[in-house]
Amino acid sequence: MKRAIIELAEQLDDAEVEAPTPGHVELQTFVIERIARVAVFQHPPSRIVWRNIAVGSSPRLRFYPAIKPAVWDKLGSPIVFRVNIVAGGARTAVFEETLNPS
């Protein structure tokens, strides 16, 4: 059975975005694993919510949390990447990673 692929970057215009400025959340091209990919750039403090996404019975989430190499040594505090899924009113944390530049 082939899995459906949902590209959230392609659905960014349909998402609810909470950010201080439009530039805090936008599409950018990142090179990840030597492949240029269109990705959702999200600068803190910001939040993105995609609603009503049908994922089927055996969903798998694939994403690449990253920090731009040009800013890595300029960071003064840890960066937290967090992904939650809300289904049936229940929130489930499916990923949390803290990258610390120091």
Secondary structure of the chain in the HEC alphabet?
CCCCCCCHHHHHHHCEEECCCHHHEEEEEEEECCEEEEEEEECCCCEEECCCCCCCCCCCCCCCCCCCHHHHHHCCCCEEEEEEEEECCEEEEEEEEEECCC
Domain count, the chain: 1
Residue 2 lies in a domain: no
pTM of the predicted model over 0.85: no
Residue 3 lies in a domain: no
Residue 36 lies in a domain: yes
Residue 49 lies in a domain: yes
Residue 27 lies in a domain: yes
| Successive 10-residue mean pLDDT values, the chain, 102 residues | 80 96 94 89 92 84 84 87 91 92 71
Q: What is the pLDDT of residues 76-102, one digit of tens each?
A: 888 899 999 998 899 999 999 998 877
